[in-house]
Chains A and B, each alone.
Chain A
Amino acid sequence: MAMSIKLNNISYSYESDTPLEYQALHQISLEIDDGSYTAIVGHTGSGKSTLLQHFNGLLKPSEGYLSVNGLKIDKDTKNRDLNALRKDVGFIFQFPESQLFEETVIKDIAFAPKNFGMSDQQANEVAKKAAKMVGLSESLFEKSPFELSGGQMRRVAIAGIIAMQPKILILDEPTAGLDPIGRKQIMDLFYKLHQEYKMTIILVTHQMNDVADYADHVIVLEDGKKIADTTPRELFKNKQWIVKHHLSLPQAMEFAFELQAKGINFEKMPLTLSELVDELEKRGIQHE
């Protein structure tokens, strides 16, 4: 069954009906297709995390409604009606390792599947499978998650989500604080889940390189409003618009624009490092 997400004019306010009421989202409509890889970008405080928390019903819109997998959510939706949804929509928060608590790695990963009704044995099996999917070696299974490095702890937390076999994976800056190698491994892992297991991925990020390298759909938020909804190539083509909205370009494109300003022409503006080097190759660089 297709797991698309549709938002119809949703608004959200924090601390409603208090003097501190703060409207974080303004009338947002959008659609996220089943099997897509969507990046959500925007400044600190633009409403990205608030928006994400609507996708699995952690927050309910103050106005408007959304539907996830055909289930309609509005301000009156009851939490008990969201149980099935919460299993289908896996949510990886910033610093997910802060949610680890069990004695061993494998118990931690098996916790959620058990919670959703699997037997111990079943839960153990899916936990092992999930651990392998995120690249945790078997020698770590019986260790305490708190003995592991930051990167490994994050893998454990991610495995705990994947073990529930979600159809949609929501990632809120999933690599903050990881070193470049750890970052790339985790991002490649999500891409693999997207390619091989057909998971729908929704990624909140400040890294325009990740938007260029992985996403096929990008949504830009500014002050709680949607200001763009397009493909990465279309978005980044318009440099003036990017500058005007204080966003940045993927490094490849930024470099290409700098070269262009010096009179070097590109047949196609490159989005990624490898596209950039493809273009540079045409410039008659000598072979060794």
Chain B
Amino acid sequence: MDNKIISIENLKFQYPNQDNVILNDISFDIFKGEWIALIGHNGSGKSTLARLIDGLLKPLSGEIIVDNINLNYDTLWDVRAKIAMVFQNPDNQFVGADVMSDIAFGLENRGIPREEMIVRVNEALKLVNMEKFAEHDPSHLSGGQKQRVAIASAIALEPEIIILDEATSMLDPEGRIELINLINKLRKEKNFTVISITHDIDEATLADRVLVLNDGEIITQGSPAEVFYNINEMNTLGLDIPYPQKIANELKKRGYKVPNKYLTRSELIDWLCQLN
């Protein structure tokens, strides 16, 4: 786990002509093959951070190193070749007239030979269960189907790093779990790294490591259990917490005595079962 794929040092960002600092002196490392969940409320700087890593925005100061390449104007395209980004609203990134050519677009851009392109497009469509829609106009798909296509486009690129920016927010719960499991499985097979920006707490609990951004600073990070314990202690953050914790909090609020630690689902169930 000790080879760094992304290294962020003293990163600062603010938009031109605006006073508020979006990211304030952030430093952290991400290791090859890791699944990172990046959480924080709207406006905390999550999407900005993702865009900085992909070189879509330029930092005010600080360094971003991706797979040993220092990100700057000259290395921009080398860095981007390693990253696939999936945005929240797929409408913003569709270019093809049909689903198939939309996925092919990214591959064409990277000069993948046609024969291989066809194989990869079909494979990616099959993985996300959208092969039936290969010839459909992407704009006629439902929100969740569009998100599947956007994820297929990222998978087809076979990147080193996939950044998901709320990329499953319009999927039904089952479809969401299915896609998350799929990306996770591919990650293990192909050893790529995933950074997932999410409000879905159940998804975040599956990550190797959770990073919490608040007002442009990383205020806590660690395993999901550690982080959710901390978040619960800092309940002013307004972040979601896992359901068992909500039950425990509600019981506490009503004046009952509950164990004073982070309880996983099965721990809470066991605790409730041993009463009376």
* A69 proximal to B (CB < 8 A): no
**Is there an interface contact between B257 and A288, defined as CB atoms closer than 8 Å?**
yes
Tell yes or no: A14 within 8 A of B by CB.
yes
**Does chain A have a CB within 8 A of B269?**
yes
CA distance A247 to B176 in the complex (A): 12
B276 contact set on A, CB distance < 8 A? 283-284
- Judge whether B136 and A20 touch: CB under 8 Å: yes
B38-76 with Cβ < 8 A to chain A: 40-43
Residue A45, interface by CB 8 Å: yes
Task: Mark B150-181 against chain A: 1 for CB-CB distance below 8 A, else 0.
Answer: 00000000000000001001111111100000
Chain B residues with Cβ under 8 A from A150's Cβ?
Answer: 42-43
Taking the complex as formed, is B196 at the interface, i.e. its CB lies under 8 A from any CB of chain A?
Answer: no
Q: Closest residue of chain B to A245, judged by CB? A: B174
Q: Please determine whether A95 and B136 come into contact, CB atoms closer than 8 angstroms.
A: no
Interface size on A, residues (CB 8 A): 49
> Are A259 and B272 touching (Cβ within 8 A)?
yes
**Residues of chain B lying within 8 A (CB to CB) of residue A274:** 250
Docked pose: A283 CA to B272 CA in angstroms? 8
In-complex Cβ contact of A44 among B91, B148, B256 (8 A): B148
CA distance A95 to B146 in the complex (A): 14
- Report whether over half of chain B's contact residues are helix, strand or loop; otherwise say mixed: loop
Q: Given that A182-B41, A255-B243 are contacting pairs, would A176 and B170 also be in contact in the complex, using a CB cutoff of 8 Å?
A: yes
Is B251 engaged at the interface, CB distance under 8 Å to the other chain?
A: yes
**A98–B174 CA distance with the chains assembled, in angstroms:** 27
| Chain B residues proximal to chain A, CB less than 8 Å | 40-43, 88-89, 91, 135-137, 140-145, 148, 166, 169-176, 199, 238-240, 243-244, 246-247, 250-252, 254-258, 265, 269, 272-273, 275-276
What residues make up the interface of A, taking CB atoms closer than 8 Å to B?
14-15, 20, 22, 42-45, 48-49, 94-95, 98, 149-151, 173, 176-183, 206, 208, 246-248, 251, 255, 258-259, 262-264, 273-274, 276-277, 280-281, 283-288
16 additional contacts (CB under 8 A) given A98-B91, A288-B257: A15-B137, A43-B172, A45-B142, A49-B143, A151-B43, A177-B88, A179-B238, A179-B239, A180-B41, A255-B265, A277-B251, A280-B247, A281-B254, A284-B276, A286-B257, A288-B252
